[in-house]
Amino acid sequence: MEAFFCLARCRFSRLMVVMQLVMGVFVICISMASLHRFYTTDSFLPGLDDSANCARLHTVGADGYAGFDIRALADRVDDVLVQLAELQDKLEATALKIGKKTKKGKAHSKQENMTLPEFRRFLEDEVIHPLYGAHISLRLIRIPRPDPDGGDDDAPVVDPLVNFFMAEETRKYVTTKGNREGRPNVYGTNRTYGTIGHACVLMRRELDEYMSYDVGSYCPDDWDLGQRLMLGGCDPLPRRRCLARASKLFQRPLPINESLWKLPDDGNVRWSRYHCRGYRCLSARNPRPGYSRCVGCFDMDREKRRWVNDTSRNASLADFRIEEVLAVKPGEVRIGLDVSVGTGSFAARMRERGVTIVSVALNLGAPFAETVALRGLVPLYATMSQRLPFFDNTMDMVHTAGFFEGWVDLQLLDFVLFDWDRVLRPGGLLWVDRFACARRDLDDYMYMFLQFRYKKHRWVVSFKSKDEVYLSALLEKPPRS
């Protein structure tokens, strides 16, 4: 107990002097360890003499080191040194500030001593965390090493991009994970690779921000940053080891017989990243709802009239009714995919008829994905850049409406349509619902759909305006062997 109270009475300036000495010794040890690790190349290139080590480390091409980014490694070491220098400057500035205060007189000496909780908080925030970050940064530096499994040329194993990113979690994610005890995994390989899209390299700062969080704690409220990465081509996103946030006002969702055609409770959605703060604001009558695609999707009265007999609006030949489509393949349409911008109304209509539809949903200015799920339907949070996560020949139907219109590049549409063809089973239906484009581009887009030689059940072109048209089609995939 005496030692405890003695420590509580220690002057903070003396502790700062001791910490500066410790920091100086630490920096010297780090420098010596880094030099030792760099020059003792035999530790990771066994069986070579010093000259061979040096030659192999700096030779590219035949020895397999062409892909190793020396500049990224140097940047990583510089980043650690900068962290240590900043920490030392912060400690010196704090000690100097305290020294100036002590000259004011003994009357203020008692106020300049820190309590144990305050000193502990200072050590954790200003010393331990920066030192831990520098320590982890050094430990995560990867140097090429020979393949432990062996090989004819004993080529080194270099973790791709591991020295490029700065965020610790990003580097851990992209580092190749060897299997325990060398056992092959379920895929028959000895390693597991955490993959990220190549565009993540171009969005390094955003990805490092996304992967900077406290492991095991709550995730930052940054879903919009993740979606921006996805739309920028950094897709799929890496997994994170933090707890996803939910609305503090979340309530039990409605039962399925009520949720299909009723807007969810406002408290079940986190509105912090949207222009609106409730579903009433998302009404089509609002001139500034915060989104521009699928205006009116949150009007359940309007949505409930779609794809059925509707006498309240002018019917168009391009509007197909669900009963007419399902009658083409009675009893055969059971599962499908809806690639549209909406709140899941097509999936709700199909569910009433015993068909399960997965709805692609991105939060483009409004909570589309949350709304689909709260209505009791299945949202697929994915971009058009991502290959569909379904196996070949598994879907009975693919439906699209208001998603790919006259803006889509022909080559991009070609890749997407071939992916739809891949997941659509033989005899499955492709429902193109009111595809809008300029009249001058109609022939090009028609060819994109006709190239697959699907059977035409329905094919309608109608005017949208003087210069634009709608294309609606119901096509059946032929059998292939």
Q: Which residue has the tokens 């190793």?
A: 68
Per-residue pLDDT of 230-280, as tens digits, reads 988 888 899 999 999 999 999 999 999 999 999 999 999 999 889 899 999
Q: What is the arithmetic mean of pLDDT over 352-376?
A: 95
Per-residue pLDDT of 14-47, as tens digits, reads 666 666 666 666 666 666 665 555 555 444 444 4
Burial 305-327 (b: 16+ CB within 10 A, else e): ebbeeeeeeeeeebbbebeebbe
What separation in angstroms does the CA of 230 have from each of 8, 161, 245? 52, 19, 19
- The reported pLDDT for the residue numbered 15 is 65
Q: Pull the structure tokens for residue 106.
A: 């003994």
Q: Pull the structure tokens for residue 17.
A: 């002097």
Domain 256-309+317-477 CATH class label: alpha beta
- The reported pLDDT for the residue numbered 62 is 43
The CA distance from 413 to 471, in Å, is 15
- Show Cβ contacts of residue 275 under 8 Å, excluding neighbours closer than 6 positions: 281, 288, 289, 290, 291, 365
**Total Cβ atoms within 10 A of residue 112:** 13
Average confidence score pLDDT of the chain = 80
Question: Which helix (H) or strand (E) segment is 340 a member of?
Answer: strand 335-340
| Candidate from 22-31, 69-78, 103-112 with smallest mean pLDDT | 103-112
* CA-based nearest residue to 427, from 476, 480, 473, 357: 476
Eight-state DSSP code of residue 123: I
**Total Cβ atoms within 10 A of residue 433:** 23
DSSP code string of 31-48: HHHHHHHHH-GGGTSTT-
Question: Which helix (H) or strand (E) segment is 117 a member of?
Answer: helix 116-122
- Domain ranges within the chain, ordered by starting residue: 160-232, 256-309+317-477
The pLDDT confidence band at residue 373, using thresholds 50, 70 and 90, is very high
The pLDDT confidence band at residue 202, using thresholds 50, 70 and 90, is confident
The CA distance from 226 to 219, in Å, is 12
DSSP code string of 408-464: S-HHHHHHHHHHHHHHEEEEEEEEEEEEEEEGGGHHHHHHHHHTT-PEEEEEEEEES
